[in-house]
């Protein structure tokens, strides 16, 4: 148990084998001990919220701000104790700020959802069963062979197998990763 805790905290590296077996062309061991790996799909999700977690997650994020938390405490104290000022004087501005911020963050997240759906639905050409098939970017799986033409966006992390250039190279920009627009080989 202590070793597991130390590994989770990063003090001890997990046990790693010196050898690794790679099965080529789906030739699995005959004794049936092979367990296929499960890989993540190719969907891009950059949004923070879903329909189910918007209200609790948004309220948690807003009350992490010290000013909002302070005004909430002041409002609660004014509700419990008879004070010369009305609780409305601190509750109404707090409610207004929380509501306007929630609407703004909800709108921004909706725009992120739209952008994610656009990227995930982008058409790509994949080799499946020996023929070139058009599919969506989110349907790319590990091991698929993807054809990328000139000036197209890479739909996933890819390894270049061939190029139509005589020297076999490919020039790319990594603007979506690091903001640099110059060509890299």
**Model confidence at 137: pLDDT above 80:** yes
pTM of the model: 0.68
Highest mean pLDDT among 101-110, 112-121, 138-147: 101-110
By C-alpha distance, which of 47, 42, 180, 48 is closest to 122?
42
CA distance 151 to 172: 9
Confidence label for 61 from pLDDT (cuts 50, 70 and 90) = very high
The mean-pLDDT minimum among 38-42, 113-117, 126-130, 144-148 falls in 38-42
- Residue 36 has a pLDDT of 63
CA–CA distance, 136 with 147 (Å, rounded to integer):
13
Contacts with 59 (C-beta within 8 Å, 6 or more apart), sequence order: 98, 102
């Amino acid at each position: 148990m202590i070793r597991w805790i130390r590994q989770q905290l990063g003090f001890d590296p997990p046990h790693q084998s010196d050898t690794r077996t790679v099965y080529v062309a789906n030739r699995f061991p005959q004794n049936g001990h092979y367990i296929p790996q499960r890989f993540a799909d190719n969907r891009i999700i950059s949004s923070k919220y879903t329909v189910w977690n918007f209200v609790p997650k948004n309220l948690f994020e807003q009350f992490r701000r010290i000013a909002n938390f302070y005004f909430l405490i002041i409002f609660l104290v004014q509700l419990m104790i008879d004070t010369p000022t009305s609780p409305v004087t601190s509750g109404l501005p707090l409610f207004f700020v929380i509501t306007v911020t929630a609407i703004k963050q909800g709108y921004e997240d909706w725009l992120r959802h739209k952008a994610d759906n656009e990227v995930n639905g982008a058409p790509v050409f994949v080799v499946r069963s020996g023929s070139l098939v058009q599919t969506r970017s989110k349907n790319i799986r590990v091991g698929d062979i993807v054809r990328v033409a000139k000036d197209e966006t890479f739909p996933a992390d890819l390894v270049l197998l061939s190029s139509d250039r005589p020297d076999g190279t490919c020039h790319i920009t990594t603007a979506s990763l690091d903001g640099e627009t110059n060509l890299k080989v």
